[in-house]
């Protein structure tokens, strides 16, 4: 019998390795940008065609390579970073395993020009399917230009798995943002199909955050900086009011390498405890520096998952540093910013606090309430009349009270869709729940969950059939977004049009809202699109949802009436009618119940001793 085990050819071994390192265009972008950083570049240009499917080119002004190094860099496990096993535990560069260029050369057609400052001429190399096709001298500036064309040209099955250009572009922007955020001292640009999306001048970390995440953070960042012998942390966190319902603007870097860590994210969230709602997420851009021997970055091919030698110390340090920063902010809100000049002009600031004013202030009941004992609960006689209607806050008017159960009243059972809710007496409780009497009890409907279900099914029907009519705006709104959000909106525009939104590009990262569905309140168009993008990002990591499903869920959640909103009797009836005409009226799109049923026998059991 012949032997069965053979060594794989290099090109096949490299393609298999590439599957771990290069999963999509964004993976190659990350590797090439990090190589340019490691080369000591002060300016890095990323040029794309078709969101990286046709071309990914990175041009840097770094150290460049010799002719031999240029040839060797495409060999698997060829690296300048490691000479001994001990070096692996002292890594401070972005790349070190020698897999990136070998993987790229296995799945794309690569052209590279590179030159060192001390060399008169550079070298030009073409590699295809891991094989060097051409190598010759070339005139070139100091640095390296590497272009990879036609990603997965030799693996059609892998190419078929790529998403739309807009979707792939979103992943590229994510990787670009992480590298650019980590190195604010380097100039970065990003151009796709001839249009420049980013031009990030070298500057401070705060300037880079604002360049990438938007000017709205300009006065809403709190400085974090703590140094110890074991580790240092620096960066910025957002003031509590900047917290969002999505976890998009959150960046952790360890020794300048972007990482994902639910453990450290929990440390940040615990520092914000009781300062933001439980379902909100603060902005943070935090850099942890510690000895490379205390961290293992070689856990995952993308190096985004790492292990700490003592993660409990890191957790406690991060939590304490942020608490300290937020405490400083609460004492001096303008810590890093100039006081608003308009405040200085207020009469209360400019006019002197005279003895007469001081006497009047100290004799007031408000002053006594804070300075004298047993005054906090005291109510002056003249104020009592203002409180005579206090019961109105707790007792609903007689017309809105839940009627006694009547066996002849319309019921809500399997035939609920056929009922005429004009005959049913409804009541809204706490501006959040609607009570609907039934034959042997009542049903308690959660108005927001119910409305989300109604809108969700309406939007699903519209996306699969006739488009929702759009109402033209008399005064179209102009919407300016960050480059990352602009990419998302471009991806969503065709589906949004089907759902009644007419949005057109209007220059770089700017859009014009020409029309919206008829039920969108005039003047709210920009706010709706802003919140929609945030909500979409909330769903973006959920792979089980298609793009259209994510969009529909986002719109339903955003447009639904909210808990705490007062509804007229007519609005309550319409909502209940629409809910029980849905295909699945009992749960919201999130899977939460839209209503709970309380039967008479259940109620009687509750009150039995």
Q: pLDDT tens-digit profile of 141-162?
A: 999 999 999 998 888 878 888 8
pLDDT at 394: 36
Query: Do residues 127 and 216 share a domain?
Result: no
pLDDT tier at 544 (50, 70, 90 boundaries)?
low
Q: Which residues does 346 contact at the CB level (< 8 Å), separation at least 6?
A: none
For residues 192 and 48, the answer to whether their CB atoms sit within 8 Å is: yes
| CATH number of the domain bearing residue 457 | 3.30.1370.100
Helix or strand (DSSP H, E) at 209: helix 205-213
Q: Are residues 189 and 40 in the same domain?
A: yes
CATH of the domain at 36: 3.30.565.10
203-257 residue pLDDT tens: 999 999 999 988 888 889 999 999 988 889 999 999 988 888 776 689 999 888 8
pLDDT band of 75, cuts 50, 70, 90:
confident
d(CA 200, CA 212): 8
Using CA atoms in the order 33, 35, 38, 41, what is the torsion angle rounded to 10 degrees?
-60
Rounded CA-CA distance 425/403 in Å is 8
Are 166 and 241 part of one and the same domain? Answer: no
**Interaxial angle between packed helices 25-38 and 100-107, expressed in degrees from 0 to 180 and rounded to the nearest 10:** 140
Residue-level pLDDT at 395: 40
Query: Do 141 and 73 sit in the same domain of this protein?
Result: yes
Please tell me the total count of domains within the chain.
Answer: 3
pLDDT of 398 above 50? no
**Based on the domain organization, do 438 and 300 belong to the same domain?**
no
Which residues, 6+ apart, have CB-to-CB distance to 6 below 8 Å? none
Residue span of the structural domain in which 178 resides: 10-203
What is the pLDDT averaged over residues 1-9? 73
Taking the alpha carbons at both ends of the chain, their separation in whole angstroms is 84
Neighbour count for residue 463 (Cβ, 10 Å): 16
Asked if the model's pLDDT at residue 543 lies above 70, the reply is: no
Please determine, for residue 409, whether its predicted confidence score (pLDDT) is greater than 50.
no
Q: Are residues 164 and 28 in the same domain?
A: yes
Q: What is the 3-state secondary structure (H, E, C) of 451-481?
A: HHHHHHHHHHHHHHCCCCCEEEEEEEEEEEC
**Residues 172, 275: one domain?**
no
Residue matched to tokens 């019961």: 391
3-state class of 124 per DSSP?
A: strand
> Is 380 in contact with 395 (CB distance < 8 Å)?
no
Cα separation of 555 and 532, whole Å? Answer: 6
The pLDDT of 102-113, averaged and rounded, is 89
CB contact at 8 A, 273 and 220? no
Residues 450 and 497 in one domain: yes
The residue-averaged pLDDT of 546-563 equals 83
Say if residue 275 is in the same domain as residue 195: no
Highest mean pLDDT: which of 156-170, 182-196, 260-274, 388-402? 182-196
**Model confidence band, residue 274 (pLDDT cutoffs 50, 70, 90):** confident
201 within 8 A of 187, measured Cβ to Cβ: yes
Angle at 262 between CA 261 and CA 266, to 5 degrees: 120
- Bridge partners of 225? 234
- Would residue 122 count as lying in a domain? yes
How many Å apart are CA 45 and CA 186, to the nearest integer? Answer: 10
Give the SS3 label for residue 391: helix
Domain identity same for 415 and 545: yes
Instruction: Using alpha carbons, list the distances in angstroms from residue 158 to 16, 56, 167, 237.
Output: 12, 17, 16, 39
Helix (H, G, I), strand (E, B) or coil at 149: strand
Of 97, 99, 76, the C-alpha closest to 8 is 76
Do residue 210 and residue 101 come from a single domain?
no
Going through 6-72 in order, the beta strands assigned E by DSSP cover: 43-49, 55-60
Give the 3-state secondary structure of residue 528. Answer: helix
**Residues 6 or more apart whose Cβ sits within 8 Å of residue 564:** 430, 431, 432
Dist. CA 536–CA 532, nearest whole Å: 6
Instruction: Please give the average per-residue pLDDT across 561-578, as a whole number.
Output: 90
Residue 356, in any domain of the structure: no
The answer to whether the beta carbons of residues 146 and 112 sit under 8 Å apart is yes
| pLDDT tens-place string over residues 13-41 | 666 655 556 888 999 999 999 999 989 99
114 close to 60: Cβ distance less than 8 angstroms: no
- Which has the higher per-residue pLDDT, 474 or 334? 474
- Domain shared by 192 and 239, yes or no: no
Mean pLDDT of the chain: 78
């Amino acid at each position: 019998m012949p032997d069965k085990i053979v060594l794989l050819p290099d090109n096949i071994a490299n393609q298999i390795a590439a599957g771990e390192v290069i999963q999509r265009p964004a993976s190659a972008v990350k590797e090439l940008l990090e190589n340019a950083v490691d080369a000591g570049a002060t300016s890095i240009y990323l040029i794309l065609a078709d969101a990286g499917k046709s071309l990914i080119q990175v041009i840097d002004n770094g150290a460049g390579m010799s002719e031999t190094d240029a040839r060797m860099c495409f060999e698997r496990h060829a690296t300048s970073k490691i000479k001994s096993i001990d070096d692996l535990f002292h890594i401070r560069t972005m790349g070190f395993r020698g897999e990136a260029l070998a993987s790229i050369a296995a799945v794309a057609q690569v052209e590279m020009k590179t030159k060192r400052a001390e060399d008169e001429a550079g070298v030009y190399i073409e590699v295809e399917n891991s094989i060097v096709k051409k190598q010759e001298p070339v005139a070139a500036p100091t640095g390296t230009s590497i272009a990879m064309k036609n990603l997965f040209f030799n693996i059609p099955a892998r190419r078929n798995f790529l998403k739309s250009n807009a979707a792939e572009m979103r992943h590229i922007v994510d990787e670009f943002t992480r590298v650019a955020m980590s190195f604010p001292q380097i100039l970065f640009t990003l151009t796709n199909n001839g249009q420049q999306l980013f031009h990030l001048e070298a500057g401070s970390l705060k300037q880079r955050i604002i360049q990438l995440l938007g000017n709205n953070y300009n006065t809403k960042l709190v400085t974090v900086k703590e140094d110890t012998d074991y580790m240092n942390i620096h960066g910025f966190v957002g003031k509590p009011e900047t917290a969002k319902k999505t976890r998009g603007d959150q960046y952790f870097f360890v020794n300048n390498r972007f990482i994902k860590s639910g453990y450290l994210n929990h440390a940040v969230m615990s520092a914000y405890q009781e300062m933001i709602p439980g379902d909100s997420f603060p902005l943070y851009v935090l850099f942890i520096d510690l000895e490379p021997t205390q961290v293992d970055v070689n856990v995952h091919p993308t190096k985004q998952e790492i292990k700490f030698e003592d993660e409990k110390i890191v957790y406690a340090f991060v939590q304490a540093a942020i608490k300290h920063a937020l405490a400083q902010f609460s004492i001096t809100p303008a810590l890093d910013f100039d006081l608003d000049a308009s405040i200085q002009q207020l009469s209360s600031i400019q006019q002197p606090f005279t003895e007469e004013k001081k006497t009047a202030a100290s004799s007031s009941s408000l002053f006594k309430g804070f300075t004298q004992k047993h005054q906090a609960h005291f109510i002056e006689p003249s104020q009592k009349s203002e409180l005579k209607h206090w019961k109105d806050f707790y007792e609903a008017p007689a017309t809105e009270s839940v009627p006694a159960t009547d066996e002849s009243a319309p019921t809500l059972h399997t035939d609920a869709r056929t009922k005429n809710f004009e005959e049913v007496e409804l009541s809204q409780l706490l501006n959040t729940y609607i009570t609907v009497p039934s034959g042997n009890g009542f049903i308690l409907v959660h108005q927001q969950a119910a409305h989300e279900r109604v809108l969700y099914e309406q939007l699903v029907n519209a996306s699969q059939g006739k488009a929702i009519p759009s109402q033209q705006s008399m005064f179209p709104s102009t919407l300016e977004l960050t480059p990352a959000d602009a990419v998302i909106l471009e991806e969503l525009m065709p589906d949004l049009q089907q759902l009644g939104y007419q949005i057109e590009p209007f220059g770089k990262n700017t859009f014009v809202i020409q029309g919206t569905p008829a039920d969108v309140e005039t003047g709210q168009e920009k706010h709706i699109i802003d919140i929609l993008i945030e909500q979409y990002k909330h769903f973006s990591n959920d792979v089980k949802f298609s793009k259209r499903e994510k969009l529909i869920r986002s719109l339903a959640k955003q447009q639904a009436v909210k808990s705490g909103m007062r509804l007229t009797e007519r609005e309550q009836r319409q909502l209940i009618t629409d809910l029980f005409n849905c295909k699945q009226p009992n749960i919201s799109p999130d899977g939460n119940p839209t209503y709970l049923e309380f039967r008479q026998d259940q109620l009687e059991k509750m009150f039995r001793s």
